[in-house]
Structures are given as C-alpha cells and as structure tokens.
Amino acid sequence: MTKNKRRSKAASSHDASTPESTALKDSVGCVSQGDMSPVSLCQAVLRKQLTEGVSTYRNSEKGTHLGEGLHQEERQLLDLLRRTATSGESNSVLVIGPRGSGKSKLIKHVIAELLLDDHIRENLLQVHLNGLLQTDDRIALTEITRQLKLENTLGDKVFGSFSETLQFLLEALKSGDQSSKPILFLLDEFDLFAHHKNQTLLYNLFDVAQSAQAPICVVGITCRLDVIELLEKRVKSRFSHRQIHLFNSQTFEDFIVIFKKLLCLDVNFPDQKFADSWNLQVEQLARDPTITDILRQQFEFTKDVRALQQLLMYPVCQLSEMSPSLSVSDFVESRKLITMDSKSAMLHGVSILELCLIIAMKHLTEIYEGEPFNFEMVYSEYSKFAQRKSSMQVFEKAVVLKAFEHLIHLELVRTVDGAGSRVQKEYRLMQMLIHPTQILDALQKYPQCPTDVRQWAASSLAT
C-alpha cells in the first residue's frame, strides 16, 4: 500500500516532504477500496482537509489575491534554503507567527518545492526537531544522530554518552567543508529550545552555521515575538537575525475564500460530476446570509485558520447518505457548541445548596470589595438567609462544608495561599473564580430555581 510505504519512510528519516496532492490521492485511493458512495468519500476527503489544513500558498502563483502576502515570505525562504542546498552556504532564520498562522505549512510547502530538484533531493539531509519532544539537549542530540544515521547508530539505537555524542557530532560537522552534504535543521517550538541548560544545542548549531564547516541551515519556528530576547548573548550574536514574520493579515473576503477552499473538493476527486455539484453548493453556502454572519462572528473573534477548521468539522461530520449536503443549521449548531460558556454550564449542574453558597460568596466579595473570605463567613451569610426565609431548609454545618468542598474541587473557588496552608478548612482564605454576571446568567437558566434564592441573588446589600 502506498500509504504504508510512505509511513515507513517517514518513520526512518522523518520525511515530511510528500507533496500535498499525492497525499490526498493516497487517502482517497486508500478509502475508495471499500466501494464507498461519493458522499462518504467526500466526507473522508474533507475530514482530511480539515485536520491537516489545505495549503493556501499554491494558488498564489495563479494570481488569486489570497496568499499574495505570503508569496514574498515563501520566496525568501525558498531562496535561502536553495542557497544552502546548492552552493554550500550556511544560514539561520527564524519563522515567527501566531498559532495557526501556517508556519509549518509554509515550510512544508517550501521543502516540497525544493525537493522537486533531483540534485537537491539526493543531497539534502533533513533533521526535524520539536521543542515539545526533545525536552533537553541529550534527547535532542540522540535524535539528531538517529535522523542523520551516523556511525554510532544501529537501527534505532544510539550509543554513547551525552558528551561523546556531542563531540562526535561536532567532529563530523567540522570535518566537512563546502562540498559536503548540506543539512537542514528544522526546530519547531524554537522558544522551548532556548530554555535548555546553557543553550548548548543552539550555541553549537549557530556556531557551525557561522564558521566554515559543513553547510547547515537552521530554521527555527516559534510563536513568540520576543524569542530573540530569550537567547543568551553569545548565542544571539551567532544568529543571523534573519526573521520571517507570518501574521494572519487576511481580510474578511480572504477568510471566506479560505472557508470555500477548506470545503471544496479538488480535481483529484474520482467522481468529478459529484465534485462539481458539491463545489457549486459550497459557493452557494458562502453567499448564504446566515453563514456569512457566523463567519463574520468567527472572524471578529479570531482569524486563526485552525479555529475555522474546527468550526467546519461538525457540519462535515454530519454528512451521511440521508443528508448528503451541508445544512446551514449544522453551522449554527457548531458555532453554538464552540462558543458555549463552560463555567455557566458547570453552574447549571450544581445543587441548590451549592448555588446558595455561591450567591453568599458573591455577596461577600461585593461587600468587602474583593477581599478573600473563609467558610465561616460564607456559612453565616448563608444561614442568615436560610433562617430568614422559611422555604429553605437550614442544613447542618457539616453538610454545607461538604458542598463547599465540592465547589473547591470544581475549581470555582480557590484558596488564596495554596492548598498547603496550615489552618483548619473552615478558616482557609478563599477567592471566588466566577464573575458576578456569570452567576446571574446561570441563575436565569437554572432549572426550578426557588424564587427567594433568585431574589436574594439580586439584592446584594440587603442582609
């Protein structure tokens, strides 16, 4: 199976370079074995598009306005990598941009473009590192030797201690010159590498890039704008200070184009007739006033493409033989699912006694202007209310304390000085983590809320 082969290749050399289109074909070819209807096939393809994202750069050559801004950055990066790959130049660059702005996508795309050249494909070595995985330099070094398949590796095993591996690696790099094979280092979550002890790895990589040794190109990917400030002085001075910024600078029109792109089927879809009618339907959807309204809200909330992908996931998942087209109501439902206030939802499920305690805490916070409170104060506030109103049963202190502890467990209230303070539970100072409007909101929706409790919540200073 093609996919199988691809994966084994990826496992050995961490090759992430397979071009988008073949990957898409793979998945389609793979799933189409089981005689699938066009709808489920379409769902499979869309699911893949929504989890992996679609490249927004490819169209830039065709002259659509989307990705026009990125074209510049793409060319810059491609130039740089090509110079390393062909003429033995050593470079370093940082790609900076917020989460979901397509940093990894850009690099993947650039590498794919780079590897179209046969000469480069045979020569260029790639090392992919991720700050989340290689949490210290020792792990990073073994990973580098593993990916470069150096002499001290046997299959998956890497031999030697940290210092031996480092020395070995540096010697291997030093012995090379301009004619040796160029290496491309990709450091994802670059800011996490800056937290390693002494920044040894970064120092050595940048040092090799600076001096006339084997040609390497260090590409850091990060979402921190101030990442340069994290570097030590000696590391900073060896870095070339070449930065590529990616911002979500699309307008609302671009946003709609992305929306269409994420939902459209491309030319590789086997049933072209279905694909055409599907794309027509997506075009119509994009003009629907409800949809544009939802997209506008989403756009004003975040321009992150990943968030958009998540918004579209639910409607796509609802596709089936029975409902072969995307319905507007599913988009509304999806938006509702995503924007739900989770704290109000949690408040909906607490018991009436716990609700009373929350109201008592709200009153205490209002009266004492945000000063912390303890259980005794809450209890006396509660019992003042419960004794005055006959409808409410007055519960024992221990029962109330159990309810109070449940609220702590749900992290709706929090101890001011951590859990380790050496006072009795009743006297531990607490702070409420719910906003008063959230409480009033939740009270509106609370099922069968006693009227006097509601009134008590509204009248804050009346004791």
Partner 1 sequence: MDGSDPPIADTVSSISESIPCRESQIKLLLSLFGEKRCMTVPAIFAYGHTATGKSAVINSILKTCKLPHVLVNCVECYSSRFLYEAVLNGLYTNNGRQKPETPVKCENMNDFVRLFRHTCMDLHLQNETVYIVIDKAERLREMDANILPAFLGLQELADGNMCVILLSEIVWEKFRCGTGFQEPFIVQFPDYNKDELLRILVRSAPEGYSAEFYQMYLSLVLSVFHIVCRNLSELQHLAAINFRKYIEPIKNGEATESDSRKLWKNFEPHLKKALQTVYLREVSSTQWERMLEESDAGKMMTQQGLSSRTHVELPYYSKYLLIAAYLASYNPAKSDKKFFSKHSDKHKKSKVIKKQERTNNHMLGPKPFPLDRLMAVFYAIVEGKVAPTANIFMQITSLVSVHLLSQVAGDDQIDVPKYKCLVSLDFIKSVARTVNFDVVRYLYDFV
Q: Which of 279, 283, 286 is nearest to 256 (CA)?
A: 286
Enumerate the H helices of 226-351 as residue ranges. Answer: 227-230, 233-238, 252-263, 272-287, 289-301, 305-317, 328-339, 342-348
Is residue 438 within 8 Å of 389, Cβ to Cβ? no
Q: b vs e for 236-272, b when ≥16 Cβ sit within 10 Å of the residue's Cβ?
A: eebbeeeebebebebeeebbbbbbebbbbbeebbebe
Q: Residue 133 or 212: which CB sits closer to partner 1?
A: 133
Q: Residue 195 or 242: which CB sits closer to partner 1?
A: 195
Q: How far is the CB of 449 from partner 1 (least distance, A)?
A: 12
Q: Residue 239 or 404: which CB sits closer to partner 1?
A: 404
Q: How far is the CB of 245 from partner 1 (least distance, A)?
A: 16
Distance between CA atoms of residues 218 and 202, nearest Å? 9
Q: Report DSSP letters for 186-223, one per residue.
A: EEESHHHHTTSGGGHHHHHHHHHHHTTSS-EEEEEEES
Q: How far is the CB of 79 from partner 1 (least distance, A)?
A: 27
**Within 10 Å of residue 314's Cβ, how many Cβ atoms?**
16
Q: Which of 23, 59, 112 is nearest to 258 (CA)?
A: 59
Q: How far is the CB of 34 from partner 1 (least distance, A)?
A: 7
Q: Residue 88 or 408: which CB sits closer to partner 1?
A: 408
**Within 10 Å of residue 373's Cβ, how many Cβ atoms?**
21
Q: How far is the CB of 177 from partner 1 (least distance, A)?
A: 31
Q: How far is the CB of 328 from partner 1 (least distance, A)?
A: 17
Q: Residue 64 or 135: which CB sits closer to partner 1?
A: 135
Q: How far is the CB of 78 from partner 1 (least distance, A)?
A: 23
Q: How far is CA 338 from CA 27, 206, 224, 310, 328, in A?
A: 28, 43, 26, 9, 16
Q: Residue 213 or 309: which CB sits closer to partner 1?
A: 309
Q: Residue 122 or 156: which CB sits closer to partner 1?
A: 156
Q: Residue 33 or 459: which CB sits closer to partner 1?
A: 33
Q: How far is the CB of 220 from partner 1 (least distance, A)?
A: 14
Q: Residue 40 or 243: which CB sits closer to partner 1?
A: 40
Q: Residue 66 or 378: which CB sits closer to partner 1?
A: 378
Is residue 124 within 8 Å of 184, Cβ to Cβ? yes
Let me know the angle formed at the C-alpha of 124 by 120 and 127, rounded to the nearest 5 degrees.
Answer: 150
Distance between CA atoms of residues 144 and 150, nearest Å? 9
Q: Which of 114, 94, 101 is nearest to 70 (CA)?
A: 101
Q: How far is CA 10 from CA 13, 50, 268, in A?
A: 6, 22, 23
Positive/negative CA dihedral, 50, 56, 57, 62: positive
